[in-house]
């Protein structure tokens, strides 16, 4: 792998989200698919739908990590998605709209993920974005 911060971030976050998605199924066997109340996993609430979202995000990041441009695009897209989910989560925690069983810890994680992925996507690998060749 090249020394690209975007590729590294995509791989690391991709692995974490994929593993968390898989681990979530170990604790949510008896939880309804889109239940507002999930089961705890490392301080976070998860339900089967939440697990699937983690898997999709993780796999998207891992697939994007194959190239610098792909990693940057994946980091930017996932960062944007998690920014929206993190902000929305602040308002839906105690409502019927909380189909992902979100809690406060989830919101912090989602907003933190958004900030980090945005920072890497927008601040690193500038030569690739401008079309200049990288060494």
Residue 34 falls inside a structural domain: yes
Q: Is residue 9 part of a domain?
A: yes
What DSSP element (H or E) covers 44? strand 44-46
Which residue range(s) make up the domain with 92? Answer: 5-125
Q: Residue 47 domain-assigned?
A: yes
- Would you say residue 134 has pLDDT above 80? no
- When pLDDT is cut at 50, 70 and 90, the band that residue 126 belongs to is confident
- Greater confidence, 127 or 129? 127
Domain count, the chain: 1
Question: In this structure, is residue 132 part of a structural domain?
Answer: no
Question: Which one has a higher pLDDT value, 133 or 114?
Answer: 114
Q: What is the mean pLDDT of residues 82-86?
A: 96
How confident is the model at residue 135, as a pLDDT? 43
134 in any annotated domain: no
pLDDT at 133 over 70: no
pLDDT at 77 over 90: yes
The answer to whether the pTM exceeds 0.85 is yes
Q: Cα(first)–Cα(last) distance of the chain, in Å?
A: 13
Report whether 64 contacts 74 (CB < 8 A): yes
Query: For residue 130, is it within any domain?
Result: no
**Cα(33)–Cα(30) distance, integer angstroms:** 9
In a domain, 48, yes or no: yes
Span 51-55, average pLDDT:
98
Helix (H), strand (E), coil (C) string for 69-110: HHHHHHHHHHHHHHHHHHHHHHHHCCCCCCCCCCCHHHHHHH
Domain membership flag for residue 135: no
Nearest residue to 103 via CA among 25, 50, 29: 50
pLDDT, average across residues 34-59? 96
């Amino acid at each position: 792998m090249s020394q690209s911060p975007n590729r590294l971030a995509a791989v690391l976050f991709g692995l974490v989200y994929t593993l968390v998605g898989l681990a979530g199924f170990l604790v949510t066997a008896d939880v309804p698919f889109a239940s507002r109340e999930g089961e705890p996993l490392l301080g976070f609430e998860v339900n089967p739908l939440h697990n699937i979202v983690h898997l999709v995000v993780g796999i998207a990041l891992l697939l994007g990590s194959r190239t610098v441009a792909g990693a940057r695009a994946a980091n930017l897209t996932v960062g944007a998605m998690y920014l929206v989910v993190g902000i929305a989560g602040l308002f839906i925690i105690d409502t019927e709209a909380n189909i992902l069983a979100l809690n406060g810890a989830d919101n912090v994680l989602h907003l933190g993920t958004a900030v980090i992925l945005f920072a890497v996507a927008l601040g690193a690998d500038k030569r690739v974005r401008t079309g200049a060749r990288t060494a």
